[in-house]
Amino acid sequence: MEKLDETTVRAEFAPQTTYLNTASTGLSPARTVTALRSAVEAATTGRPVDLFGDVHRSREIFARIVSVPASRVAAGASVAVYTGLIAAALPPGAEVLTVEQDFSSTVASFHTRGDLKVREVPLERVADSVRPSTSLVALSAVQSADGRVADLAAVREAALAHGARTYVDASQGVGWLPLDAGAYDFVSAVAYKWLLCPRGVAFLVVPEDLGGLRPVFTGWASGENPWDSCYGPVTELARSARRFDESPSTLAYAAARHSLALIEELGTERIGAHDLALADRFRAGLAARGLEPVPPVSSVPSLGSPIVAVPGLGARQGELSRAGIELSDRAGNLRAAFHLYNTEADVDQLLDRL
């Protein structure tokens, strides 16, 4: 496999800190900053950007990154909204299988509905816990708190065997983890992490038949012809996943398409290989210092994660930030996240500080 194009990366990023916090927020490429600045300036002079053009281009690039047709992708701003959309489509009493301590945007809507049977199991037991009564399996591809990677293939096979549908939140995976979103019923992702977009951009992948979802939030942007859907009821919903679009955050999408284009240009597999190599270097350095991070996965030893969580060290986040090293404190873990703009020198600086 070809290595990551470091010349392109260095032209796009010049962090002023040792930034190891992509699992919280990705850095914006220079091209994205330029596009956002131009969009803001255009809006202030009374010449706003194309309202839908950037949304459509962003949708198309995201669809290629996750290997599905653009007709299957809805564009919005929040995973929580799309989780709520899926939860609203389930019949009363439906059983939903979830992961213990998964990110709240992935699971909370199933609990708050009040009339669903929600089961929580450890990540490594998800596939074995699917049963004939399960209607939906909902989980993150990568756990936010500690970077553990789900055995999605095993979950998909178990769900198929029992007639259950699958919902994957890929927010902590897409951008470094090669993903065929067409292998699952529903896939959501925010784009401000590993896809390096501004906040206000999120996507939902649905089946070709729209998966039985009801358009519980509907506005003019949901119409087959939005400009003909501005007044009164929307008489014709979009015939694709676009019927689940939220009214777009136009400035965010004007910038997002440039970040997405960079991810596509560099290649998810090359980005992933780069990120995982840095994470492995960090894990080896921790082991040499007698520190033990959370294992990247329990059930799939061949998979790795660019998110490395060190239990018990979360309280050092503030000290490290003051030293110019940006990480997160999550569930008591010191969480480092390595992405395309990071180097071996970044890893070694963190290890030396620890």
Per residue in 143-200, pLDDT (tens digit) is 999 999 999 999 999 999 999 999 999 999 999 999 999 999 999 999 999 999 999 9
The C-alpha torsion from 128 through 296 and 187 to 257, rounded to 10°, is -170
Structure confidence by residue, pLDDT tens digits, 32-68: 999 999 999 998 998 877 778 999 999 999 999 999 9
User: Tokens standing for 118?
Assistant: 């929600």
The C-alpha torsion from 96 through 99 and 105 to 106, rounded to 10°, is -50
Smallest CA-to-CA distance from 338 within 15, 54, 1, 113 is with: 15
Q: What is the pLDDT of residue 56?
A: 96
User: Tokens standing for 177?
Assistant: 């983890």
Please determine, for residue 1, whether its predicted confidence score (pLDDT) is greater than 90: no
Tell me the one-letter amino acid at 266: L
Residue 116 backbone dihedrals phi, psi, to 5 degrees:
-110, 155
Q: What is the pLDDT of residue 15?
A: 95
Structure confidence by residue, pLDDT tens digits, 76-122: 999 999 999 999 999 999 999 999 999 999 999 999 999 999 999 99
Q: Which domains does the chain have, with CATH numbers?
A: 6-27+268-353 (3.90.1150.10), 53-265 (3.40.640.10)
Write the CB contacts of 319 (distance below 8 Å, at least 6 apart in sequence).
none
Q: What is the pLDDT of residue 142?
A: 97
